[in-house]
Amino acid sequence: MNSILNYFKDIHHAVSTLWGGMRITGKYFVSPGEIVTHQYPENRDTLRMADRYKGEIIMPHDADNHHHCTGCGICEMNCPNGSIKVLTDRLPNAEGKMERVLNQHIYHLEMCTLCGLCVKTCPSGALAFGQQFEHAVFNRSKLTKTLNQPGSSLKKETKG
Amino acid sequence: MYDFSQLTGAIDAALHRSMTPGWALFTELVIIGLVVLILYALVGLFLVYLERKVCAFMQNRVGPNRVGPYGIIQTIADLIKLLMKELIPIARADKFLFNLAPFVVIIVSFMALAAIPFALGLQAIDLNIGVLYVTAVSSLGVVGILLAGWSSNSKYALIGAMRSGAQIVSYELSVGLSLLTVIVLAGSMQLSEIVASQADGWWIFKGHIPAFFAFIIFVVASTAEINRGPFDLAEAESELTAGFHTEYSGIKFAFFFLAEYMNMFIVSALGATLFLGGWMPFHIGHWEAFNHIMDFIPPLVWFLLKTFFLIYVIMWFKWTFPRLRIDQLLTLEWKYLMPLSLVNIVVVAFITLMGWHF
Amino acid sequence: MSEAVIRDIIVSESDDYIINMGPQHPSTHGVLRLEVSLMGETVKSVTPHIGYIHRGIEKMCESDSYQQIIHLTDRMDYLSAHMNNEAVCLCVEQALQVEVPERVKYIRTILDELTRLSSHQLWWSAFGMDLGALTTFFYGLRDRELILDIFEESFGSRLLHSFNTPGGLMHDVHPNFQKSVREYLKYFRKKLPEYKQLLTDNVIFRQRTEGVGVMNREMAISYGVTGPSGRGSGYSCDVRKIAPYSAYPLVQFEEKLQTAGDSYARYLVRMDEMWESMHIIDQLIDNIPAGDFTAKMKPVLKLPPGEYFQRVETARGELDVYIVSDGNKTPYRMKFRSPNFSNLFVLNELSAGGKIADLVAISGSLDLVIPDIDR
Amino acid sequence: MLREALISLLKTLFPDGQVREETQYPELLVPNTRWLEVATTLRNHEDLHLDFLISLTAVDYKDKFTLVIHMESTSFRHLLVVKTDLNDHENPVVDSLSTLWPTAGFHEREVYDLFGIRFSGHTDMRRLFMEEGYGFPLRKDFSDESRVLTLS
């Protein structure tokens, strides 16, 4: 007799657990407040990424087109993927002494894994993380960027 | 209550006046064919859209909302996409059977749609063996699936087809037996007769306990028969990528896709007609005022309300439960649903004999 | 390559009914090819073919400095990226006898547990989806998304944040890190019981997983199956208990064990571990000591010649880092004992004789991450 | 089992092996001819009971290979490192431990694939990642044609 009893008992148990699961999906069906979808292309102007977001490496320039990169190449040595190439040339500075000046700071975004070693090890803090994340391009050459803007120069530290 | 047979009678009389009886019959058949075709496309596309919206709301998503207002035209866009897709010929596949399979599946669900009573007199064909006709036709669907599985020369498809063959054949029993309960109660297999007999109350209430059990068994077994919900083993994407319609592309895949949704509509329409009183409004005993208000809602709307409620329940199953394994699925049928429906038949026969139903 | 070689790779010489699950397959969570030989529905044998995502991490480590290796170990088991990095950092710090500030230990342990929580959430959603409950995927990832927002707020990237560096952390956590973690714990404590109601108690799910892929304790030990998969068969292998590191000695938590050894037991271990992780974070989040976030380290690290070994508990088992150093700035040989490598090869033993659906349930319950297997 | 007791037991059991204590975990260096025999006693000895093979790997010291095993006992919780030197650098062969630990079989297949060390008595001595005929990548003298990686 008890085999028939627990035959119906496990039917009852089965139906109650199934109903428990259906209650959850039913609850979410009637609660649109829980919808988490972001309408991405439409909310583009209101979308603000976290301020520490690592989108790409940039070289911040101040108002009068100065940057902090002295062309030392420490970032190039520290980069595990070889995605930074610093081109420098020797030019006489104000006092006539030959000095190393940054020509081009080439950054290959397609090889960079955003590990952050270049930003951390740069002695003069010239590199920073940009928040731009839309990097899709149609040919790869566009991914090779020159970080220092044309006509920019090293920001002279005013001594004393 | 508007009787559609006046409208159909008027059309019939007009046709007979204007042309010879042979031609009149021919044009009538063409009209009915067109109407059912349009109904087929409309309901199919709407169901696909409804499923994606219901599933999205259950998963905290919004669902299609880009193509047209609230994404209504999304399914039409999908259909056009599928139409434009290239039909990839499968190497060493049995060409004739491979192309025949989708048509078998579509035609079967088309034929079953003809016998459903949408409203008083609005029925393509009112056979006096209506229920037998529908179950017989819908069991042909498994032939199309087996054909598709075998002829696409892919291991996944074959396994998927074998699974769904075993599944549909074994669940025919419980569906048939649960429909039998209402036939015993109503005394006739003619669908319009069954709906007429529910004028004073739906069978699920009048038949009290056995009808309620039969209704539950019917819903579970018919979900299994249309390969949906926790029983979608035929196209279990996590095991067999896409089961029997893996190799199909373009419009042939669209046929399978649409046929699955139409089967869902037919099964819930059948359930609504037999258990929930088809297009009969919801009356409670002698509350004249309440019943009078209920009559304001036209019978066609009543029918669609009940059918879409059942469709919602079937979708609710699919998006909540994990999938059953093939042997558990068959044990559920042979060890649980079959005995219950047999006992149910005996109980309902006894009750109708003694006249204890309302 | 000669015809025979190709033949040997693709189909071994047997007339069984062989289907290939993978390398591109919804339920293998990555590029793993399972060559399944079937007899009707039942599985006769499963031969995993790996190597599709072999990047040669151990070879690359031999030409990278110790700070540069961190961005490689991130990409091994990407779901427990933080624990992989921590293993390398602890090994280097132990070799240089560097004492890491208390604040770093606390933050590292909190991040360990947050990563374990997010990894278990993704496992739960993918496991539900494999068995057919597609809605679990969205619930699991909805809650996991909030953890990734916490990571993004503090470290800038969601999953592979290379935040650890030998000697401490790359930079300090965001000021409202503690506040967002507390809020998240309050939110997720309400959602976890729903997971239980939706899947754990579900009778179809229990039928699909109970008694499927039974692994007893001896088989777990001899196959080296560690982590929640091993603990499902009663083998207590939690490195946080055996060899505690970072702030684990200061925390009270139990090691969740089950004895049945089937897929359902492995499932229950991971569900309990989610509660344990939240319990651990509770004990740590309120009293993170102040202090700087890294010890004083020279820019170029040269490990004294010798061999160093560090054991860490990732979300999937025991990850060990074995460094052989000959004194210059790159390691001479670096070996990672990855948990998934041993967990994978027990698959054949467990799924022989079962159905195809069981194979999917078992590989889901073993929670395999394929880049960790190939390295 | 305490470290000193373990070390003294090892010395008594394996007189011809050298035991080093100054390292992080006790190390045992055994001649490669008695490799399988030593491993069997380590696994089945009731005081040692080293039944959990953590990892089996090899290190290429340019003139010789060293096979390194880390083993732990699940009952006594002590960890032991066992090493052996294979002086034949061209095609080194050593006994396989897959009969003692099934997991050793797969570690050995990986070591064979990356180092070229063959294991006699192994049931399925096939490479794990690459096909036959490809070089052995983790050897120090391995040079890949595509020159992606130049060893410093």
Residue ranges and CATH numbers for the domains of chain C are: 3-49 (no CATH), 57-374 (1.10.645.10)
Q: Is the pLDDT of residue A83 over 50?
A: yes
Are the Cβ atoms of C203 and A13 closer than 8 angstroms?
Answer: yes
pLDDT of residue D152: 42
- What residues pair up with A107 in beta bridges, in sequence order? A84, A145
Q: C96: helix, coil or strand?
A: coil
State which H helix or E strand residue A145 sits in. Answer: strand A144-146
Identify the CA nearest to B57 among candidates B326, B355, B316, B317.
B316
Chain A: closest CA distance from residue B310 (Å): 15
Q: Report how far residue A76's alpha carbon sits from residue C155's, in angstroms, rounded to the nearest whole number.
A: 22
pLDDT band of residue A159 (cuts 50, 70, 90) is very low
Domain residue ranges of chain D, discontinuous segments joined by +: 3-147
Judge: C130–B238 Cβ closer than 8 Å, yes or no.
Answer: yes
In this predicted structure, the answer to whether residue B192 has a pLDDT above a threshold of 70 is: yes
Torsion of CA D27, D31, D35, D41, to 10 degrees: -60
| 3-state secondary structure (DSSP) of residue A110 | helix
Find chain D residues with C-beta within 8 A of C306's C-beta: 23
On whether the D3-147 domain is CATH 3.30.470.20, my answer is no
Shortest CA distance to C185 belongs to which of C283, C86, C315? C283
Per-residue pLDDT, C302: 92
Which of C64, C241, C335, C347 is best to mutate for the D interface (most D CBs within 10 A)? C335
Task: Answer whether B124 touches A (CB < 8 Å).
Answer: no
Q: What is the DSSP letter of D94?
A: E
> Which pLDDT belongs to residue B52?
92
**SS3 letters for chain B?**
CCCHHHHHHHHHHHHHHHCCHHHHHHHHHHHHHHHHHHHHHHHHHHHHHHHHHHHHHHCCCCCCCCCCHHHCCHHHHHHHHHHHCCCCCCCCCCHHHHHHHHHHHHHHHHHHHHCCCCECCECCCCCCCHHHHHHHHHCCHHHHHHHHHHHCCCHHHHHHHHHHHHHHHHHHHHHHHHHHHHHHHHCCCCHHHHHHHCCCCCHHHHCHHHHHHHHHHHHHHHHHHCCCHHHCCCCCHHHHCCHHHCCCCHHHHHHHHHHHHHHHHHHHHHHHHHHCCCCCCCCCCCCHHHHHHHHHCCHHHHHHHHHHHHHHHHHHHHCCCCCCCHHHHHHHHHHHHHHHHHHHHHHHHHHHHHCCCC
From CA A84, how far away is CA C172, in angstroms rounded?
26
> For helices B141-151 and B250-275, what crossing angle results, to 10°?
160
Pick C120 or A7 by higher pLDDT. Answer: C120
- What pLDDT tens digit does each residue of chain C (375 aa) get? 556 665 555 555 566 788 887 777 666 667 888 888 888 778 899 988 888 888 889 988 988 899 999 999 988 889 999 999 999 999 999 999 999 999 999 999 999 999 999 999 999 999 998 888 889 999 999 999 999 999 999 988 888 888 899 989 988 899 999 999 999 999 999 999 999 999 999 999 999 999 999 999 999 999 999 999 999 999 999 999 999 999 999 999 999 899 999 999 999 999 999 999 999 999 999 989 998 888 888 888 999 999 999 999 999 999 999 999 999 889 999 999 999 999 999 999 998 888 888 888 998 899 888 888 888
With touching defined as 3 or more inter-chain CB pairs under 8 Å, the answer for chains B and A is yes
pLDDT of residue C186: 95
C-alpha span between B235 and B106 (Å, rounded): 18
Query: Which 8-state DSSP code applies to residue D6?
Result: H
**Residue A146 CB burial class (10 angstroms; 0-12, 13-18, ≥19):** middle
- Rounded CA gap, D31 and D38, in Å? 10
Residue D76 forms contact with C (CB below 8 Å): no
* A120: contact with C, CB 8 A cutoff: yes
Chain C residues within an 8 Å CB radius of B58: 135
Residues pairing with D20 in the sheet:
D27
D126-147: pLDDT as tens digits: 888 888 888 888 888 887 776 5
- Asked if residues C178 and C104 have their Cβ atoms less than 8 Å apart, the reply is no
**How large a percentage of chain A has pLDDT more than 70?**
98
Question: How far is the alpha carbon of C61 from chain D, nearest alpha carbon, in Å?
Answer: 11
Interface A-B, measured as beta-carbon pairs within 8 A, has a size of 34
Contact call for residues C263 and C212 (beta carbons, < 8 A): yes
**CA distance linking residue B137 with residue B13, whole number of Å:** 31
- % chain A with pLDDT above 90: 24
Residue for token pair 């939706």: C198
DSSP C193-242: HHHIIIIIS-HHHHHHHTTSS---HHHHHHTT--HHHHHTTT----HHHH
Give the helix/strand (H/E) hosting C81: helix C81-95
**Which of C165, C198, C204, C300 is the best mutation test for A, with the most CBs of A within 10 A?**
C198
pLDDT of the residue at B93: 80
Q: How far is Cα D113 from Cα D130, in angstroms, rounded to an integer?
A: 7
Q: What is the average pLDDT score of chain B?
A: 87
Considering only B211-220, B282-291, D52-61, D69-78, which range has the smallest mean pLDDT? B282-291
- B205, B226, B217: which is closest to B139 by C-alpha? B226
B-facing residues of C in 303-342 (CB < 8 A) are none
pTM, to two decimals: 0.91
Query: Does any CB of chain C come closer than 8 Å to the CB of residue A111?
Result: no
When CB atoms are compared, the residue of B57, B62, B321 closest to A29 is B57
Inter-chain touch A26–B316, beta carbons under 8 Å: yes
| Cβ-Cβ contacts under 8 Å, B57 against chain A | 28-29, 32, 35
Q: Which one of A13, A17, A48 makes the best mutation probe of the C interface by having the most chain C beta carbons within 10 Å? A: A17
Strand pairing class (A153-154; A66-67): parallel
